[in-house]
């Protein structure tokens, strides 16, 4: 009887039209959508359709470290407007215990084997990972550059700053997943090399790095083989050093806090000859805490790529804050009584987790 019922369910699923199947898939969590590709060739084809992928919601994900020291990083995803963040098991990555997280970008994690020059790129949702060839130089700072909405949504780069500086430039080595090779370049930063900070952001094929003394942002064009750099002054200095770069609505934003207020500027790049910052939002951090963030420390993590919404972190929650209405619109907890430190937050199309990102040592579990 059970076999007959199972056969009937399979026949019912096969009889669904493509439109009906698409509407069902759009209502599933992204993890269930990814697994649904294994149901049948028809389901896989429907899920792979570009029109359906564009209709999937954005996925909020974070990388964080629990307090207590020595604990491994965790990756979690959020659903709906609040609740508990759902941890994803990273145990599928065989080198997890002997590796450290260097960076994370739009759904991918960059690991480095401790004491070596070996790098790994890991996708915690599709459970794929890739071992990269060793670079020719040791890296002082490494960042992952991946933009699923860019011109090459399946490609990624790893950018190594080797620390071989000169007055206003230095050596940078870049790995391209499309060429599957590293390339070293001598780059002119446009500012003293020692002014570059570790606060970097990637969008649209370019790395944006904050620099201090002078206070500016340096744009490095990763898509250009020469890694051409341009410089724009910052509108204000973050008095406590909490300045961040982000993109929303296709434009670069600078977010800074003075401990009492969070200010958001947008770069008006309509005239390339005169780059100007415009103050877009100013929010009292007390209002965020009163709205549900809690804790003594509140830090900006990310902007929504399409809306005037910011994501804040405190010791117990990740909060979604509407910058226009000035109210909390969502809050996610990390577990009862569990403190943590979030290091990366992003929102990307759920289709990212359904794509065939070029990770050579791909391992997929359905």
315-333 tens-digit pLDDT: 678 889 999 999 989 888 8
| Euclidean distance between CA atoms 107 and 243, whole angstroms | 22
Higher confidence at residue 8 or residue 212? 212
pLDDT of residue 364: 37
Question: Considering the chain, what is the average pLDDT of its residues?
Answer: 80
Q: Residue 241: its pLDDT value, please?
A: 60
Mean pLDDT of 209-230: 91
In the chain, where are the structural domains located? Answer: 57-89+238-359, 91-233
For residue 5, pLDDT beyond 50: no
pLDDT (tens digit per residue) in 135-185: 999 999 999 999 876 656 568 999 999 999 998 999 999 999 999 999 999
List the one residue out of 253, 317, 250, 257 whose CA is nearest residue 290. 317
Burial class (CB in 10 A: 0-12, 13-18, 19+), 92: middle
So what's the pLDDT on residue 361? Answer: 45
Q: Which residue has the higher pLDDT, 33 or 364?
A: 33
Residue linked to tokens 């084997």: 113
pLDDT band at 275 (very low <50, low <70, confident <90, very high): low
Question: Rounded to an integer, what distance in angstroms lies between the CA atom of residue 172 and that of residue 141?
Answer: 10
Q: What whole-number percentage of the chain has pLDDT above 70?
A: 75
Helix (H) or strand (E) run with residue 99 in it: strand 99-105
Residue 272: pLDDT band with limits 50, 70, 90: very low
pLDDT given for residue 214 in this prediction? 85
Instruction: Report CA Rg, the chain.
Output: 22
pLDDT, tens only, 9-42: 445 555 667 677 777 777 776 667 767 766 777 7
């Amino acid at each position: 009887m059970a076999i007959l019922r199972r056969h009937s369910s399979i026949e019912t699923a096969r009889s669904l039209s493509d439109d009906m199947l698409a509407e069902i898939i759009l209502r599933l969590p992204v993890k269930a959508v990814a697994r649904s590709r294994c149901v049948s060739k028809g389901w896989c084809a429907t899920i792979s359709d570009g029109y359906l992928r564009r209709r999937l919601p954005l996925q909020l994900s974070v990388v964080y470290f629990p307090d207590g020291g020595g604990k491994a990083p965790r990756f979690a995803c959020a659903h709906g407007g609040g609740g508990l963040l759902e941890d994803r098991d990273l145990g599928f990555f065989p080198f997890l215990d002997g590796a450290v997280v260097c960076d994370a970008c739009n759904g991918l994690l960059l690991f480095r084997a401790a004491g070596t020059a070996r790098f790994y790129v890991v996708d915690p949702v599709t459970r794929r990972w890739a071992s990269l060839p060793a670079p020719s130089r040791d890296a002082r700072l490494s960042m992952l550059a991946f933009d699923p909405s860019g011109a090459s949504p399946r490609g990624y780069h790893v950018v190594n700053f080797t620390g071989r500086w000169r007055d206003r430039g230095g050596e940078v080595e870049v790995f391209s997943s499309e060429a599957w090779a590293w390339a070293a370049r001598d780059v002119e930063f446009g500012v003293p090399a020692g002014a570059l900070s570790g606060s970097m952001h990637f969008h649209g094929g370019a790395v944006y790095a904050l620099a201090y003394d002078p206070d500016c942002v340096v744009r490095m064009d990763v898509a250009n083989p020469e890694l051409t750099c341009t410089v724009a002054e910052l509108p204000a200095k973050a008095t406590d050093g909490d300045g961040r770069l982000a993109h929303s609505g296709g434009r670069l934003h600078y977010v800074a806090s003075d401990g009492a207020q969070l200010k958001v500027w947008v770069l008006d790049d309509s005239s390339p000859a005169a780059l100007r910052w415009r103050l877009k939002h100013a929010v009292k951090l007390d209002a965020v805490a009163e709205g549900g963030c809690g804790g003594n420390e509140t830090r900006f993590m990310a902007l929504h790529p399409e809306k005037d919404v910011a994501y804040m972190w405190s010791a117990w929650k990740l909060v979604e804050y509407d910058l226009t209405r000035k109210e909390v619109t969502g809050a996610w907890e990390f577990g009862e009584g569990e403190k943590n430190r979030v290091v990366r937050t992003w929102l990307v199309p759920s289709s990212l987790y359904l794509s065939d990102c070029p990770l050579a040592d791909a391992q997929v579990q359905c």
